[in-house]
């Protein structure tokens, strides 16, 4: 299992897709909780770090 280093601006691909159909999220805040923005519809959520780490499929670093 890869250990990812999460940073603001990175794009994370999660296992399950959002109802809009997108699996990619932009990280807006990092800490005990993450704030993620769906790249499909722009919806923002707060989610526990543990859940993000568990459900991450891929991580693309910001350019």
pTM: predicted TM-score of the whole model, two decimal places: 0.89
Q: What pLDDT does residue 2 have?
A: 63
CATH number of the domain located at residue range(s) 11-60 in this protein: 2.30.30
Q: Within 13 A of 43's CA, how many CA atoms are on the CB side?
A: 12
d(CA 45, CA 52): 12
Please determine, for residue 51, whether its predicted confidence score (pLDDT) is greater than 70. Answer: yes
Domain boundaries, the chain: 11-60
pLDDT tens for 11-49 read 999 999 999 999 999 999 999 999 999 999 999 999 999
């Amino acid at each position: 299992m890869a250990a990812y280093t999460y940073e603001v601006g990175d794009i994370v691909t999660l296992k399950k897709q959002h109802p809009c159909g997108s699996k990619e999220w932009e990280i807006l805040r990092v800490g005990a909780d993450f704030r993620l923005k769906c790249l499909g519809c722009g919806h923002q959520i707060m989610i526990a770090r543990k859940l993000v780490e568990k459900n991450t499929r891929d991580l693309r670093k910001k350019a």
